[in-house]
Chains A and B, each alone.
Chain A
Amino acid sequence: MEKIEPILAAHPFCQGLDPKHLKELAACASRVNLKAGEFLCRAGEEAGRFYLILQGRVTVEIFSARRGPLTVQTLGEGDTLGWLWFQEQPYHWHLDARVVSLSRVLSLEVDCLRRKCEADHDLGFEVLKRYAHFLAVRFRVSALQLADMFQA
């Protein structure tokens, strides 16, 4: 059974993390393999997991009654999906993430991450620093998508 730490370290989200912090994260992580058609998450469910995609292809979709599932993003190797919601009340997914072709992901338990970050603020800072960067890029890209650069 391959150790998780080197796999974590190789993922862009964990770039530059101290080995002792990697060890902490590894304790919250498990490897998951999903087949095409399976879902990483469904809209409405509790967002209890944070995913680092290692390999494969996942579509992020919003379901529309009239138009069916609308893909707003595709994820692949090196991508990230999820909410590091460290509040009391759990967060809920508002999108579906469907596996399109065989995918291997690292699934991190958000609650586990929260407890560890509360206990070790240095770890918390490193994790949230990377999460903030991820959100900033997502926001910029979504704004661009919304602006519809191909309009007219």
Chain B
Amino acid sequence: MASPVTVGAKVIITAADFPKLLAALARLGYQLVGPTMRDGHLIYGDLAGAQELPAGWTDVQEPGSFRLERRSDGALFGYGVGQQSWKQFLFPSRHLLWRAERQNGGFRILPSSEEIPRYAFIGVRSCDLQAILVQDRVFLRGPHPDPVYQARRREAFILAVHCGDRDCGTGFCRSMGAGPRVSSGFDLALDEIIRGSDHYFLIEVGSERGAAVLRETPHRQAAAGEPEAAGAAVVRMGRELETRGLKELLYRNYENPRWDEVAARCLNCGNCAWVCPTCFCHTVEDVTDITGEVAERWRRQDVCFTVDHSYIHGGSIRPSPRSRYRQWLTHKLAAWIDQFGSSGCVGCGRCLTWCPVGIDLTAEVRAIREAEASLKETEHGED
């Protein structure tokens, strides 16, 4: 049963034994979080065990639409990504930074002490794993790495899932080099295979931590040909984003009339930023208790779609909805590259799915390219 498991090894676990893998994680002190159904919604929440995974469910996503449907099989990971991402665990949307208490005419600051959760992320898709790596570059680089993110990230165990043999309604991770298969950054990565009555998982070991968990679980070595067969599964994506020269294209086109066109549709609701797994904007709230003796400073997730976001005395820097949509998109696809060395977009498709009016950023970028090209044609045509 048990065999030497090392980094890079590929093993098979039957569906029947899969719950033991999660149980092993729990025994090692991890708090399991992952996809589960709650009140009819697919969320990322606490998992008591594999029995709480949304077995037999799948999703149908289009711009502006998300629907859950029953599958004909009992796949544990037969769906894509829902509204939530793993950022809520590493970068909690509300977090107490510190407390201040009045004393002796002045005040003192009491750092907030919290127990660092040890999460095991169950079922991380490639797009979302890329998103974590993107956020690593935001929160961990430089002279002031974010202590909250850093502590949680160090502890987090990543059980990734390769996407295979499905229609990804709104995703375009292939264009962003972010999938559909995970390549690195995981502790364990699995393919779920259902063939007739056979239901099993091909698991690749990505780290010593992952190997340790696997050693506690009944498994067998993968036979020749099995990894290749799993890797052959195809994800069908309905859209792509041309990333060549994208930063320069957007930087050149700040006054492209296409922005007016999308601004006429965009509600500035900020859904796209709320659900995006890489968006990191946050604000701080200073509150006090009723006596005024104790003050707290909270960090809160924020989006750039509010007029307040860029407000300084005298007014907002981005007063028009057009400028705020433009800010979000150009930051995500262009400025991010200058700031952090890679694109901010992983092609997960959430911003398309959860936009109430179904704005598709791949279509918007294409429209800007075409508008610029046709403008150049017109100019040359007049020579």
A interface with B by C-beta (< 8 Å) = 151-152
B interface with A by C-beta (< 8 Å) = 313-315
Residues of A within 8 A of B315 (CB): 152
Task: List the A residue with the shortest CB-CB distance to B312.
Answer: A152
4 residue pairs A–B, Cβ–Cβ below 8 Å: A151-B314, A152-B313, A152-B314, A152-B315
Residues of A within 8 A of B314 (CB): 151-152
Name the distance in Å between A33's Cβ and chain B's nearest Cβ. 47
Task: List the A residue with the shortest CB-CB distance to B315.
Answer: A152
Nearest 4 A-B pairs (CB), nearest first? A152-B314, A152-B313, A151-B314, A152-B315
Q: How far is the CA of A152 from the CA of B314 in the complex (A)?
A: 5
Task: List the A residue with the shortest CB-CB distance to B314.
Answer: A152
Q: How far is the CA of A52 from the CA of B76 in the complex (A)?
A: 89
Name the distance in Å between B317's Cβ and chain A's nearest Cβ. 13
Name the distance in Å between A6's Cβ and chain B's nearest Cβ. 51
Residues of A within 8 A of B313 (CB): 152
Name the distance in Å between B313's Cβ and chain A's nearest Cβ. 6
Residues of B within 8 A of A152 (CB): 313-315
Task: List the A residue with the shortest CB-CB distance to B313.
Answer: A152
Q: How far is the CA of A31 from the CA of B314 in the complex (A)?
A: 49
Q: How far is the CA of A20 from the CA of B104 in the complex (A)?
A: 84
Name the distance in Å between A30's Cβ and chain B's nearest Cβ. 50
Q: How far is the CA of A151 from the CA of B314 in the complex (A)?
A: 8
Name the distance in Å between B88's Cβ and chain A's nearest Cβ. 38
Name the distance in Å between B310's Cβ and chain A's nearest Cβ. 15
Q: How far is the CA of A152 from the CA of B313 in the complex (A)?
A: 7
Q: How far is the CA of A152 from the CA of B86 in the complex (A)?
A: 42
Task: List the B residue with the shortest CB-CB distance to A152.
Answer: B314
Q: How far is the CA of A124 from the CA of B325 in the complex (A)?
A: 55
Q: How far is the CA of A151 from the CA of B313 in the complex (A)?
A: 10
Q: How far is the CA of A131 from the CA of B313 in the complex (A)?
A: 41
Residues of B within 8 A of A151 (CB): 314
Name the distance in Å between B176's Cβ and chain A's nearest Cβ. 42
Name the distance in Å between B236's Cβ and chain A's nearest Cβ. 55
Q: How far is the CA of A23 from the CA of B9 in the complex (A)?
A: 99
Name the distance in Å between B335's Cβ and chain A's nearest Cβ. 28
Name the distance in Å between A148's Cβ and chain B's nearest Cβ. 12
Name the distance in Å between B168's Cβ and chain A's nearest Cβ. 49
Q: How far is the CA of A14 from the CA of B47 in the complex (A)?
A: 86
